[in-house]
Structure formats: C-alpha cells, structure tokens
Amino acid sequence: MLRRVIVALVLVSPAALIGFEPPARPVRSSPAITQDTNAVPRAIRRDVPMTNAIRRAFEAGTRDRSGRPGPKYWQLQVDYAIDVRLDPATQTLTGSERVTLHNNSPDALTEIVLRLDHNIFRGLVPRGFSTPAENTDGMVVTRIGVNGEAVDLGARPAGGRGRGGAPRTLAVSGLDQTVARISLASPIAPASTATLEIDWRTKLPGGPGGRGHRMTQRWDDTLFQPTQWFPRVAKYDDLRGWDTQVYLGPAEFYNNFGRFDVRIDVPAGWLVSGTGVLRNPDEVLTATARERLARVLESDEVITIVGEHEAGPGRSTAPGDRLVWHYAAGMVNDFAWAAARSYMWRATRATIPGTGPIPIHMFHLPERAKLFANAAPITRHALEFYSKLLVPYPFPQLTLQDGPSAGMEYPMVLNSNQGAADHEAAHQWWPMMVGTNETVYGWMDEGFNQYMNILSQADARGVEPSLDGLGGRYGQTSGSEDEPPMMWAANHAGPMYGFQTYSKTPLMLSMLGGIVGDEAVQRALREYAGAWAFKHPSPWDFVFFMNNALGQDLNWFWYYWLWTTEAVNGSIAGVKADGGRAVVTVRQDGEMPAPVVLRVQLAPDGPEIEPMKNAKMIDATTAIVTWPVDVWFDGTRTFEAALDFGGRRVTGVTLDPHRRFPDRHADDNVWPRP
Ligand SMILES: [Zn+2]
C-alpha cells in the first residue's frame, strides 16, 4: 500500500506539490564562467588542518605542539601469556590466553575491543584486495572470561549499553568479524588492571591461490607460519579511543606494547622460531645444537645449528612425542612464529652499537637454501646500518622465517628470505619500535621504510644514495583521480594503496632534502625515532617534530604533500639578458609552492665573478642560486630572479637542477631551450 502512494506522488511535479515555482532564469549574454587559474592569485595554505582528535590531545597535554609526547602522554600496556598447540593433521591451532590489560588511561573503560584478524578467512567478512588461500571457519572463540567472570558467548549485548538506567551486562558481539566488542558489567577504572581469559582455535589457511601477505600461512601439513593468530586487544588511545578499523587484508596494524610469554606445543622433531628469546633450550634442543648456538656471537661466520640431515626427534630436537617451546619477549607489539618438520637452522650475528653482538637466526627448508644464501650479510648490514641511521636496534635477536609469506614483518621476526630482508629489517624501527597506526597512516611506516632502503642499499654497494629526481617524479603522478592524499586512511586507499603507502614518502623526503639538505632530514628522523620509541606518534606529532628539529616552519610543505595531491610544475617562462645581468622569469603553474633553485652557467671569460649572496659556486663558472619559498606567499605565479655575478655573462639557466620538486615537464626548466 505504501508503495503505491509513493509512485503516485512522483508523477506530480514537486513544485506543484508544495505550491512553489522557481523564478524565471535571466537569459545569459555574458561568456560562460570557466576556470582561469592564471587570473586568480594562488592561495597558498601555510598551516596544516587540525582535527578534533589532535586538538583535544593538545588541550589534555597528552601530546605537545612541539611534536614530542606531552607531559600527560599515556598508553595502555597489554601483556599476554599464551599456550598454543599445533595439530598438523588438522592444520589447526588451539590456544588459551591470559591477557593483562593495564588501563593507564584517565578513562573508565566500559568495553574492550578485540581484534580477531583470522576471521578474514571466513567467506563473509569485508576484504580489501587480499584473497586467502583457503576459506576457514575463522577464529573460533570458545570461551571468554573477564576478571574471572564468564561471558555468555550466545547472549546479545543489552541495548543502551547501560544508558538510561539499564543495567550494564557482560556480553560480547562481533565474534564472527575481525573486530569484536566485549561490553563490561563494571568498567575498568583508570590506573587499574583487568584480566581476560580467552580460548580459541583457528585453522591456518593453505593451498594455492592466496594473494597478499598473511593470506597463506602454511605449506601442506609440514610448515606453518602463524601470524595474527591469537585474539588481540585493540588499541585504545588519546586520539580516537578504541581503534575499531576492521582488518581488510592489505593495510597493517596498530597494536599495544606489552610482554609476551608464549608456550608452543608441536610434534618433537619440528623446529620452532619466533618473537622473543627461547627460554627452555635445555628442554627442546639437543646438546649439539646448544653447543653450536653458544658460538654464534663469536664471529660473523654463519653457523649451522640444525643441519639438513639432522631431522626428527632426538636429532633436530630433544627426543619425545611432543615438545613445548617457551618464548618470552618484553615490550613488543605482536608475536609471530613458525614451525616446520624439516627446517634447517643457521645463525650468525650483527653488532649493534652500544649493545654488542646479537644473533640473527635463519630457519628455512633445505631445498630453498639458495634464497637464503645472502640473507646473513644483507640482514647484518641492515641491522648495523639502520642502528646508525636511526637509533640502535632495541631487541635481543632477529629471525628470518621461510614459508609462503615472504615479505612480512613482526617484532624480531621477518617472514622473508634475502629478497626482502633489508626492507623487513627496517620495520623493526617502524612499527615495531615507533608504534605508528599503520592501518590509517601507512606512510609513516612503509614510506619511511622505503626511504631508508634507498640509503641502506646504496651504502651496501658503497655508493652515494641517489635522492635526486625522486621529488620531481611526483609531477607525473599528481592529478590522478585514483590517488588518495596520504592523510586518507590507508585501510580505504583503493587502487593506489601501494603508491600512497609506500612510494610517495621517498618522493616527499627527496623534496624535503632539496630544501633543508638530506643530512638534516636524516638527523631529524633520528631524533623523531628516539623521541617516540615504544610510543605511538600521529602525523601531527611527526610534522611538528620535524619543523622543530629542522628549525623551519614547513607547514606549507606538509600541507601540500600530506593533505593534497598537488604538484609544483615549475618552468622558466623567459630570460632577459642585458650585458652582464639577467632576469629569469620563473613560473609555478601548480598549487604546491617550492623554493626557487637555479643552476646558473656563466661565460668562461669576462669581468671577475662576484658570487651573489644567495649563490653557491660549484665550480669556477657554475653557481646554484636559491630564493626561499616565501617569494610565492603573496599569491603570484611568476617570480623575477635577478642574476648578477659582477657583470659576468649568463649563458645558461636550469630551474630545479636536482629535480627535487614535483614537475610534469622537465624540458621547460632550461634556458636556452634545447
Ligand atoms: Zn613493509
């Protein structure tokens, strides 16, 4: 009935229905209104947008306008004690965990948000462009207790969540999704601790067809690479409260720091590697393996701990039917492990400034030894180089684990062979040490990492890193409708997720180096890593920290790179040469401004060269002349750069000679034109 009434209404003109007619439109005689960018001054934004979340944090003193943690900074600590059993026959983990949640926030927590990432392997949850190798039942939670009280897993949470006088009840929702919520009968008071007990099981997905890291976690029933395998407490922070971003596959994590105590029960003869330090080598290793391990820190040699032909209980491990491997880690934000029936175990060392030698472990299948042939020197170089570039590697070991996922990082664990070892090792600084929210701000993690990889790989080859050209290259991408700004949540970045999260940051830092110098950029990053180690910075903290570390208000720069997809698009519009003087007309057609940097070629003969104040001679007749970005702040699109080198004739000019500023066409940056 209702439907027929609606159909009748749409047949009548809306204006007739409400008794209103629009005024007659005047006949247009003037030209159509179109956009003429040249006719309007360029509106250069010189601050960064502030959100309610960061404003509140500044007011509360949890963060500081200097970019450092505020005097009232806090974060939760979440400790895990986990017992897990691997059954190769069913490819299933069965686990039981006791989670201690230290509520260091000033808030009474009325709920606990859980991350159940393995529910992405169920067929009916939302997913990004990752595809699991196999659909499973997901993470099947069989018991939850909060402070000793059992949660009825079948009951629906009461409506109103305790508002309007309704009593709060202990209940859970979303157990079949990647984010679940436990509503609490009594809140967790500030400065108090709550205990969660959870039992669960999850089948590790295997088989062909998995796409995306973490989407295939085993080879048949002989090698397992469990990640995101246990129910985790979501992040609760001063910016957004509980983090309720669903896990879609491509974007990564935002986890609490805490201590882990994990007991992994596997068949005897299987080797187990993982986050943390093995606490019971006497119970699970052979005497031979323990003796070999004792020599690892003595040299850079690669030592075989368990060889190809040492397989089975009593040879690769202690004898028995099943063995329980006990790993423990202090202050990490996740725990990953791997187990295989026929792993080889080799080890070497890296020497960390201030710490000394630490072990690098490599667990791989014998037939894949080639993929690990260079893993030791690459990983050692990465740990030692990044320790000097940023701050010393803070963990007691690093382990490479062979398996279907070959390019993924967890604390002290690289699911990688030599191919991605340098990149994955750098992740030990972000997000394992500086705990960025990768789900939303992937660039603060993958992007910084890509920049560091350029430096590391050049250092390993003994050459100067090449950062020239990178910033300029962004001019070719700018303008794509598919590109989300870097501040757009990476979890929803779409087809250009990879560019937004990985590739754009080195381009941005190339331009920053073009303004303040690459050494200054790296020094500031080092100070930032130190200030935020084992904490959780936001983009505003990063931006304001860098401004202070670099001693410059660069908010215009951050605004255009992080909040927009605009470019500079500079050119030389003309040169008026008059004897020994020249005036270069520089244009910027894009919305992003940039300093004016000219390489000026002077004639070999003539009056003696007197360098300009803003010039640096790079050889007898070539100078780099710069004007600060401020020359654009009045909105003009052209700048007249007057050149005078004591009357020496100017024979050539190149704008942005190091190609650091995003530019669509390089061929209009030179005079005379080729
Ligand atoms: Zn990465």
Q: Is the pLDDT confidence value at 129 over 60?
A: yes
Tokens for 188, please give them. 């967790």
Indicate the burial class of 655 (C-beta count within 10 angstroms; 0-12, 13-18, 19 or more): buried
Q: How many Å lie between the centroid of ligand 1 and the Cα of residue 153? A: 37
Q: How many Å lie between the centroid of ligand 1 and the Cα of residue 109? A: 33
pLDDT in tens, 487-510: 999 999 999 999 999 999 999 999
Q: How many Å lie between the centroid of ligand 1 and the Cα of residue 446? A: 5
Confidence of residue 462 (pLDDT cuts 50, 70, 90): very high
Q: Is the pLDDT confidence value at 326 over 60?
A: yes
Q: How many Å lie between the centroid of ligand 1 and the Cα of residue 305? A: 29
Q: How many Å lie between the centroid of ligand 1 and the Cα of residue 636? A: 41
* Per-residue pLDDT at 208: 87
Q: How many Å lie between the centroid of ligand 1 and the Cα of residue 298? A: 31
* Per-residue pLDDT at 175: 97
558 residue type, one letter: W
pLDDT in tens, 262-281: 999 999 999 999 999 999 99
**Which parts of 451-580 are beta strand (E)?**
570-578
Q: Residue 533 carries which DSSP code?
A: T
Q: Is the pLDDT confidence value at 24 over 80?
A: no
Q: How many Å lie between the centroid of ligand 1 and the Cα of residue 306? A: 29
- List, in order, residues 6 or more apart from 6 with CB less than 8 Å away: none
Give me the half-sphere count of Cα atoms (radius 13 Å) on the Cβ side of residue 19: 0
Q: How many Å lie between the centroid of ligand 1 and the Cα of residue 252? A: 9
Q: What is the largest CA-CA distance in the chain?
A: 96
Q: How many Å lie between the centroid of ligand 1 and the Cα of residue 361? A: 20
Confidence of residue 430 (pLDDT cuts 50, 70, 90): very high
* Location of structure tokens 């250009």: 496
Secondary structure class of 26 (helix, strand, coil):
coil
Contact present, 109 and 78 (Cβ < 8 Å): no
What global pTM score does this model have? 0.93
Q: How many Å lie between the centroid of ligand 1 and the Cα of residue 503? A: 11
Q: How many Å lie between the centroid of ligand 1 and the Cα of residue 435? A: 14
Q: How many Å lie between the centroid of ligand 1 and the Cα of residue 494? A: 18
- 73-82, 155-164, 529-538, 550-559 — which is least confidently predicted? 155-164
pLDDT in tens, 175-210: 999 999 999 999 999 999 999 999 999 999 998 888
Q: How many Å lie between the centroid of ligand 1 and the Cα of residue 245? A: 20
Nearest to 540 by CA among 558, 556, 527: 558
Task: Find the helix or strand (DSSP H, E) in which 92 lies.
Answer: strand 92-103
- 160-169, 301-310, 347-356, 456-465 — which is least confidently predicted? 160-169
pLDDT in tens, 384-415: 999 999 999 999 999 999 999 999 999 999 99
Angle between helices 470-477 and 504-516 (to 10 degrees): 130
Nearest to 142 by CA among 133, 134, 152: 152
Task: Find the helix or strand (DSSP H, E) in which 138 lies.
Answer: none
Q: Is the pLDDT confidence value at 165 over 60?
A: no
Q: How many Å lie between the centroid of ligand 1 and the Cα of residue 424? A: 6
Q: How many Å lie between the centroid of ligand 1 and the Cα of residue 502? A: 8
Q: How many Å lie between the centroid of ligand 1 and the Cα of residue 426? A: 8
Q: What angle do CA 23, 29, 33 make, to 5 degrees?
A: 90
Q: Which residues pair with 623 in a beta bridge?
A: 600, 617
Q: How many Å lie between the centroid of ligand 1 and the Cα of residue 407? A: 7
Q: How many Å lie between the centroid of ligand 1 and the Cα of residue 126? A: 23
584 residue type, one letter: V
Q: Is the pLDDT confidence value at 541 over 90?
A: yes
The mean per-residue pLDDT over the stretch 522-540 comes to 98
Q: How many Å lie between the centroid of ligand 1 and the Cα of residue 431? A: 10
Tokens for 181, please give them. 């919520």
Contact present, 601 and 621 (Cβ < 8 Å): yes
* Per-residue pLDDT at 5: 37
Q: Residue 63 carries which DSSP code?
A: B
In angstroms, the first-to-last Cα distance of the chain is: 76
The torsion of the CA quartet 118, 124, 125, 130, rounded to 10 degrees, works out to 70
Q: How many Å lie between the centroid of ligand 1 and the Cα of residue 144? A: 33
Q: Is the pLDDT confidence value at 363 over 70?
A: yes
Q: Is the pLDDT confidence value at 520 over 70?
A: yes
Round the average pLDDT of the chain to a whole number and report it.
94
The mean per-residue pLDDT over the stretch 243-264 comes to 97
Q: How many Å lie between the centroid of ligand 1 and the Cα of residue 576? A: 50
- 26-40, 514-528, 606-620 — which is least confidently predicted? 26-40
Q: How many Å lie between the centroid of ligand 1 and the Cα of residue 467? A: 20
Q: How many Å lie between the centroid of ligand 1 and the Cα of residue 442? A: 9
Q: Say how far apart CA 242 and CA 105 lie, in whole Å.
A: 12
Q: Is the pLDDT confidence value at 12 over 50?
A: no
Secondary structure class of 253 (helix, strand, coil):
coil
